[in-house]
Structure 1
Amino acid sequence: MSSIIQLLPDHVANQIAAGEVVQRPASVVKELVENAVDAGATEIKLIVKDAGKTLIQVIDNGKGMSETDARLCFERHATSKIRQAEDLFSLHTKGFRGEALASIAAIAHVELKTKQDQEELGTHLIIEGGKFISQDVAVLPKGTSFSVKNLFFNIPARRNFLKSDTVEFRHIVDDFERVALAHPNIHFVLTHNGSEMCNLPISNARQRIVNVFGGKTNEKLVPVSESTEIVEIQGFVGKPEFAKKNRGEQFFFVNNRFIKSPYLHHAIMAAYDGLLKDGSQPSYFLFLDVPPHTIDINIHPTKTEIKFDDDQSMYAIIRSSVKHSLGQFNVAPVLDFERDASLDIPYEYKDKESETPLIQVDANFNPFADEKPARSFSSSSGGSHAFGSGYKKESNQPGWESLYVGLTTATDEIDVKEIQFESEEVTGSLFEESAVETSSNKTYQLQKKYIVSPIKSGMLIISQKRAHQRILYEQFLTNITVHHAASQQLLFPLELHFSPSEMIMLKELRTSLENTGFVFSAMTTEIVVFTGLPSNVTESEVRPLLEELLHDLQGELPESSFSQSDRIAKSMARSLAVKTGAYLTEKEQENIVNALFACKEPNISPFNKPTFITLGVEDLDKRFAL
């Protein structure tokens, strides 16, 4: 019987490995940029075309590779980072598996140019789909230039599953920022389709954060510093008043490697306990330096998760460090028993006795000296007056009795029969009909969450939040597609600051946002200026609305314009809809009920959840049946 197990060819094995290592263009960016960092580069330039689908090029001024190393680096499990298994527990570099370049070369057209500093000539090497095409000697500058073209050209199924250029480029920016934040001592440049998107010069950690996320970030940061035997912590956390609804600006770096840790994130949230609104997320940029032998990096394919030897101690140290920093910089209330030296008594006054201040009183002061005496009750003092010689007793006498003349006779002559009153019949007909109509359509708010309205067959119970979402969703979708949204002009322009990566998405969404009622006055690399807003959006709601919109769209922005409009309408409806716990007047309740049943799809919310239920009389009868 013939055997059915056989070894896979190298090109097939490399393609399978590439599916694990290279999930999207951002994966290639991460591997190449990290290799440039490991090569000791002080300047790294990333050039991208069509969100990495056409070209990804990383140019560095690192130490470069020899001719042999340039050929050998594309072999599987070939690496310069480790020599034996024990080295896995003493890692000081980004990469160590030796799989990335082999996987990338198997699914793309790769061109490598590299030269070492002490060599006169470099190496120019071309690989297509894992096959060596050429290897030549060339005159090159010091360092390495790695070009990856036509990614997934031989795996069309994987290429078809890539998302739009906006989404893929957003993932590239995320990975680029993570490496750039961890290495402020390296100059990074990012170029997309010929336009320079980021230029981050060599700086300190705080300035690098400001360069990445915009100039307004500086005022939001609170420094954190702690040194223990287990971990040394440096970095910054955001002030509570600048917390956002999304988790975009949250970074943990362990030994200059970006990681994700829900456990340590919980420690940060515990430090902010009582300082944040519900649903808000603080920003933080924490750099943890731990002994390499106390962590295990090789537990996740993307190396973004780390296993600590002592998780509980890490949790406690991070929580206390962040809480101490918030209190030290007067962000959180703390008890401070230290003496304030500014309140001490100066030495020259220490032995002196206090002197009683002199009080001077003007005995001749009369506050009524300039007041005109025109008080009638002063005349009863037997002719004497207290308000000056100009007062005359008779000056206020004439004609005061005339005010009451004829008062008694007038009341006697009033004929009550001649007074005309509104007929009771008219008054009753004016209010009785409306009262009957109101009572039949009267609505009630239950637990500030539901609207209850009686109907002929029983009662209608409406979720105020979902109903309002449906109403706003159809309004925004109509405005975007028909282009007739109304705007309210602002008395003063509204200026908002965003990070450069967020500005990229806002420029993509500008047309759709204008169709909903936003009026853009100016857009720069970090600032957006509005002169008009949609009629149902207030100035205080603009920033949370746009932040939530960007958060909703950055991961799954569809390519078609209609789908993009649909996503924008859903996000804005969710942000602006009345929340659970909000009190509604009877008029507001009726408006929601009427507007809901005027919608095209009143039965479900934009997120496919029911907006109302009906409770019939028979259902109530069953409840009361014995």
Structure 2
Amino acid sequence: MPDIIRLLPDSVANQIAAGEVIQRPASVVKELLENAIDAGGKNISLIVKDAGRTLIQVTDDGSGMSETDARMAFERHATSKIREASDLFSIHTMGFRGEALASIAAVAEVVLRTRTRDSETGTEVRISGSKFLGQEPVACNPGTQFQVKNLFFNTPARRKFLKSDTTEQKYILQEFYRVAIPFHDISFVVMHNNAELYNLPSSGLLQRIVRLMGKQALQNLVEIKSETSLVSISGYIGKPQLAKKTYGDQYFFVNRRFIRHGYLHKAVAQAYEKILPSGAVPSYFIFLTVPPESIDVNIHPTKTEVKFEDEQAIWQILHASVREGLGKFNIIPSLDFEANAGIEIPVLQKNTEIRTPEVQIDPEYNPFEKETERGRTAKYASSLHSSELLNWEKVYAGFEKTPEEEGSEADLFQQENRAEQISGKFIQIKGRYIVTAVRSGLMVIDQKRAHERILYERYLEGLKSQQTASQQELFPRQISLTTDEYRFLLPMLQGLQSAGIDLRDFGNGSVVLYGCPPEWKGNDPEEMIRLFLHMLREEEGDPEQIGRERIAENLAKATAIPYGKVLSQEEMNLMTDQLFACSNPSFSFDGRAILTIISLDEIEKKLR
């Protein structure tokens, strides 16, 4: 049998390895920004065209590279960050693997211009698909500039599976936030298709967060700070007003490196347990500083996963720090041992009248009688004695009435499209389900899905007819948005007005709300709009191409009543009425069941 195992050419091996490191344009942005920071850059610019497909350019004013280093930087596993294996446990830089530039050069056309401060001229290196094209002297400023053009030009399958420009731009900005927040002492400029998205001067952490997340964050962030021998914790956590129904504004940084950590997220989430409604996710920007040797960041090529030496202890410290921060600002009750550190010593007060303590005695108390039964009996007897049995005949009033006299089933819910006759009496279970009797058994309705269905059909009808009622605000409300939110919302303003949401562009990243649908009564319109935007941005697609169905779906999700909301009999009655007036009351717009019927036969089988 002939030999069949062969070494792959470097160009093919590089493309395979690049699949782990460079998954989309945002991966290139992340690696180049981290390189600029490691080079000591204090002013960094990011220029993107066509969401990174055509161009990604990062320029810094850092240390620059020599002629030899500029060429060597594109070799796989070539790095200035570490020298030996032990260095992996004392990493102080963002990068260290020596894979990023080789991976980028394998799937794109790359031009590098760099110059050190003590050199008169710089160096330009050109590489395309791992193929070295040339190197020559060039006039340039001190620092480094990377131009990455035509990403995935030699791997059409990878390019084909990229999402829309809006989606890819969203991922690019996510990576930018993860770098810009911890390195708030660095100035950043971001351009997309010749439009300036961000111009962030060097500032404090809070100022950087507000510039990125919007002015509403300023009044709704709480500072936390905790120093221990194991870990130092600092940053900001959001008040309940900043919580959302979806993930997005949760940031952990370990030694200024963004990480994902589900276990530590639980430490934060549990601190909010009793102050946030079910399903709400708190916002936070938390920095953990630990000795480099106590963590392992060499787990995944993206370096967003880390292992801690003492994870459980850090969990406890983080949980306590978040609870302390919430308690200081009276968001939750807290035990503050330092606030009343002085010990109270009893002091004899002269000329004080001494009284015999009163003892409450219940002559009817029987220690062998069940407390619950005795309590009910005593309460009932007390009420009878207090009224001295006046108007005793009223005790029996109403017993002679028959159910038919009080009202029959036929008087309730006469909609022709009802599959079952409903009793008109409702029970709510755990703030989630509405239960009512029907002829064939019990009907169980998911209250949130039911409300979503009702709102979806209303919004969709309004978008089609363009005649949805709008309840005008007494005082128009200005809403400040992040740059990303603002650019995403603008193409949809006309469609939203058809749905009863009277929003108008105010310029400078702001919109003004003049009116909203009557269904929003009792809710904060600004919160509804932000949630709607957040949910819509999580989906794929261009905002200019978003159809009426998607707008209606996301509006319904954002404004429907949450699980846990207690409903009155009248509210449950009205919701059931409105549900069965819908075109399809059995299923939500995304195909989930809204209701089910437990038959009498099933109930009888369970109780045999």
The alignment's TM-score, normalised by the length of structure 1, stands at 0.79
- Match for 1:492: what amino acid? F
Which range is displaced more, 441-450 or 178-187?
Answer: 441-450
In the alignment, which of 612, 616, 624 is matched to residue 595 of structure 2? 612
1:226-305 equivalence runs, <5 A = 226-305=226-305
Are 2:519 and 1:536 aligned? yes
Relative distance call for 1:572 and 1:2 in structure 2 (3 A) is: same
1:555-594 equivalence runs, <5 A = 555-559=538-542, 564-580=547-563, 591-594=574-577
Q: CA deviation at 1:182?
A: 1.2
Per the alignment, residue 359 of structure 2 pairs with none
Q: CA deviation at 1:105?
A: 1.1
Per the alignment, residue 93 of structure 2 pairs with 93
Per the alignment, residue 479 of structure 1 pairs with 462
Are 2:461 and 1:488 aligned? no
- Deviation sequence 1:194-234 (CA, Å, 0-9, x none): 11111110112222222222233222232222222212222
CA distance in 2: counterparts of 1:535 and 1:326, whole angstroms: 34
CA distance in 1: counterparts of 2:409 and 2:206, whole angstroms: 68
Relative distance call for 1:620 and 1:539 in structure 2 (3 A) is: closer
SS in structure 2 at match of 1:502:
helix
Kept in 1: contact 2:234–2:288 (CA 8 A): yes
Kept in 2: contact 1:451–1:463 (CA 8 A): no
Q: CA deviation at 1:265?
A: 1.7
Kept in 1: contact 2:89–2:295 (CA 8 A): yes
Kept in 2: contact 1:451–1:464 (CA 8 A): no
Q: CA deviation at 1:273?
A: 4.4
CA distance in 2: counterparts of 1:502 and 1:258, whole angstroms: 22
Q: CA deviation at 1:466?
A: 2.5
Kept in 2: contact 1:558–1:564 (CA 8 A): no
Relative distance call for 1:312 and 1:117 in structure 2 (3 A) is: same
SS in structure 1 at match of 2:520:
coil
Relative distance call for 1:187 and 1:337 in structure 2 (3 A) is: closer
CA distance in 1: counterparts of 2:250 and 2:444, whole angstroms: 41
Relative distance call for 1:263 and 1:540 in structure 2 (3 A) is: same
CA distance in 2: counterparts of 1:592 and 1:178, whole angstroms: 43
Kept in 2: contact 1:557–1:564 (CA 8 A): no
Relative distance call for 1:163 and 1:525 in structure 2 (3 A) is: farther
1:69-80 equivalence runs, <5 A = 69-80=69-80
CA distance in 2: counterparts of 1:208 and 1:89, whole angstroms: 30
In the alignment, which of 418, 437, 447 is matched to residue 410 of structure 2? 437
Per the alignment, residue 416 of structure 2 pairs with none
Per the alignment, residue 452 of structure 1 pairs with 436
SS in structure 1 at match of 2:126:
strand
Q: CA deviation at 1:43?
A: 0.3
- Match for 2:243: what amino acid? A
CA distance in 2: counterparts of 1:38 and 1:83, whole angstroms: 16
Are 2:42 and 1:42 aligned? yes
Kept in 1: contact 2:76–2:102 (CA 8 A): yes
CA distance in 2: counterparts of 1:530 and 1:43, whole angstroms: 37
CA distance in 1: counterparts of 2:199 and 2:451, whole angstroms: 44
Kept in 1: contact 2:250–2:283 (CA 8 A): yes
Kept in 2: contact 1:214–1:526 (CA 8 A): no
SS in structure 2 at match of 1:120:
coil
Kept in 2: contact 1:89–1:295 (CA 8 A): yes
Kept in 2: contact 1:473–1:573 (CA 8 A): yes
Per the alignment, residue 389 of structure 2 pairs with none
CA distance in 1: counterparts of 2:95 and 2:552, whole angstroms: 43
- Match for 1:54: what amino acid? T
CA distance in 2: counterparts of 1:454 and 1:514, whole angstroms: 40
SS in structure 1 at match of 2:519:
coil
CA distance in 1: counterparts of 2:339 and 2:519, whole angstroms: 52
- Match for 1:534: what amino acid? P
Per the alignment, residue 184 of structure 1 pairs with 184
Per the alignment, residue 159 of structure 1 pairs with 159
Are 2:477 and 1:504 aligned? no
Q: CA deviation at 1:248?
A: 2.4
Relative distance call for 1:73 and 1:587 in structure 2 (3 A) is: same
Kept in 2: contact 1:296–1:307 (CA 8 A): yes
- Match for 2:538: what amino acid? G
Per the alignment, residue 545 of structure 1 pairs with 528
Kept in 2: contact 1:443–1:451 (CA 8 A): no
Kept in 2: contact 1:114–1:122 (CA 8 A): yes
- Match for 1:123: what amino acid? T
Q: CA deviation at 1:7?
A: 0.9
Relative distance call for 1:326 and 1:489 in structure 2 (3 A) is: closer
- Match for 1:437: what amino acid? A
Relative distance call for 1:525 and 1:27 in structure 2 (3 A) is: farther
Q: Look at both structures and tell me which one has the larger radius of gyration over its CA atoms.
A: 1
- Deviation sequence 1:395-453 (CA, Å, 0-9, x none): xxxxxxxxxxxxxxxxxxxxxxxxxxxxxxxxxxxx99x96731666433233522536
Gaps of 5+ in 1: 342-430
Q: CA deviation at 1:135?
A: 2.0
Kept in 2: contact 1:443–1:454 (CA 8 A): no
Relative distance call for 1:184 and 1:459 in structure 2 (3 A) is: closer
Kept in 1: contact 2:246–2:535 (CA 8 A): no
Kept in 1: contact 2:277–2:564 (CA 8 A): no
* RMSD of aligned Cα (Å): 3.0
SS in structure 2 at match of 1:117:
coil
CA distance in 1: counterparts of 2:222 and 2:602, whole angstroms: 58
Per the alignment, residue 466 of structure 1 pairs with 449
Q: CA deviation at 1:76?
A: 1.1
CA distance in 1: counterparts of 2:3 and 2:167, whole angstroms: 46
Per the alignment, residue 9 of structure 1 pairs with 9
SS in structure 1 at match of 2:191:
strand
1:14-413 equivalence runs, <5 A = 14-335=14-335
Relative distance call for 1:294 and 1:315 in structure 2 (3 A) is: same
SS in structure 2 at match of 1:47:
strand
CA distance in 2: counterparts of 1:56 and 1:337, whole angstroms: 53
- Deviation sequence 1:137-156 (CA, Å, 0-9, x none): 11111111111111111222
Kept in 1: contact 2:278–2:563 (CA 8 A): no
Kept in 1: contact 2:216–2:480 (CA 8 A): yes
Relative distance call for 1:46 and 1:488 in structure 2 (3 A) is: same
- Match for 2:229: what amino acid? E
Per the alignment, residue 361 of structure 1 pairs with none
- Match for 1:50: what amino acid? D
Per the alignment, residue 353 of structure 2 pairs with none
**Length, aligned pairs only:** 537
CA distance in 1: counterparts of 2:408 and 2:216, whole angstroms: 57
- Match for 2:410: what amino acid? E
Q: CA deviation at 1:167?
A: 1.4
Q: CA deviation at 1:595?
A: 4.1
Relative distance call for 1:277 and 1:40 in structure 2 (3 A) is: same
Relative distance call for 1:508 and 1:153 in structure 2 (3 A) is: farther
SS in structure 2 at match of 1:94:
coil
SS in structure 2 at match of 1:8:
coil
Relative distance call for 1:249 and 1:17 in structure 2 (3 A) is: same
Q: CA deviation at 1:335?
A: 4.3
Kept in 2: contact 1:522–1:530 (CA 8 A): no
Kept in 1: contact 2:184–2:203 (CA 8 A): yes
Q: CA deviation at 1:518?
A: 1.0
CA distance in 2: counterparts of 1:620 and 1:310, whole angstroms: 51
